[in-house]
Amino acid sequence: MLFRQAGILHTNYTQDRALFPIPADRWMIGGLLLLAAAAPFYMNSLYLSSYMLPWLVWTAAALGLNLILGWAGQFHLGYAAVMGIGAYAAVHAQRNGVPWEIAIVLAGLTAAVIGSVFAFAALRVKGLYLALSTLALQFVMDWTISHVPAISGGTQATLQAPDIRVLGWAITSDAGLYYVALVWCVLVTTFMLNLRRTALGRALVAVREKDYAAAVIGVNSFYFKLVAFATSSFIAGVSGAVLIGTFYHAVTPEQFSVDVSIQALAMVIVGGLGSIIGSYFGAGFILLMPGVMNAFISWLTAQFGFSLGIETLAHLPHALYGALIIGFLLIEPLGLGKIYGNIRDYLLVWPFGYVKK
Partner 1 sequence: MDIMLLLESALNGALVGLMYSLVAMGIVLIYKSSSVPNLAQGAMVMLAGYVILAFANQLNLPLWVAIPLGIVTMFIIGVGIERVALRRLAGRPIIMILMMTLGIEIFLRAGSMTIWGGTSRPLPIGISDAPLFLGPLLINRAYAVGAGVAVAMFVLLVLFFRTRIGVVLRAISDDYTAAWSVGISVERGVALSWAISAVVATIAAVLWGSVQGVDQSLALLLLKGVTVAVLGGLDSIGGALLAGILLGIVEGLASIVLDPLLGGASRELVDAAMLILTIMLRPHGLFGRHDIERV
What is the contact surface with partner 1 in residues (CB under 8 A)?
A: 69, 73, 75, 121-129, 131-133, 135-137, 139-140, 143, 147, 155, 211, 221, 262, 265-266, 269, 273, 309, 311-312, 314-316, 318-319, 321-323, 325-326, 329-330, 333
Rounded to an integer, what distance in angstroms lies between the CA atom of residue 61 and that of residue 56? 9
Q: Tell me the C-alpha distance between 78 and 132, whole Å.
A: 10
Is residue 278 within 8 A of residue 343, CB to CB? The reply is no
How near is the Cβ of 316 to partner 1 at its closest, in Å?
A: 5
Task: Between 245 and 274, name the residue whose CB sits nearer to partner 1.
Answer: 274
Q: How many CB atoms lie within 10 A of CB 202?
A: 14
Between strands 169-171 and 250-251, the pairing is unpaired
Which CB sits closer to partner 1, 75 or 229? 75
Least gap, CB of 262 to partner 1 (angstroms): 6
Q: How far apart are CA 144 and CA 150, in angstroms?
A: 10
Alpha-carbon distance 167 to 169, whole Å? Answer: 5
State which residue, 40 or 64, has the beta carbon closest to partner 1: 64
Q: Give the residue with the Cβ less far from partner 1, 21 or 333.
A: 333
Give every CB contact of residue 346 below 8 A, 6+ residues apart in sequence. 353
Q: Shortest approach of partner 1 to residue 128 CB, angstroms? A: 5
Would you give the end-to-end CA distance of the chain in angstroms?
Answer: 13
Least spacing, CB of residue 62 vs partner 1, in Å: 14
Cβ(62)–Cβ(268) below 8 Å? yes
- Of 104 and 119, CB closest to partner 1: 119
Does residue 54 have a cis bond before it (omega within 30 degrees)?
Answer: no
Alpha carbon distance 61, 81 (integer Å): 12
The four Cα atoms 224, 116, 133, 86 give a dihedral, to 10 degrees, of: -130
| CB nearer to partner 1: pick between 241 and 265 | 265
**Strand segments (E) across 192-314:** 250-251
Q: How far is the CB of 184 from partner 1 (least distance, A)?
A: 27
Report, in Å, the least distance between residue 121 CB and partner 1. Answer: 7
CB atoms within 10 A of CB 178: 23
* C-beta of 124 vs 357, nearer to partner 1: 124
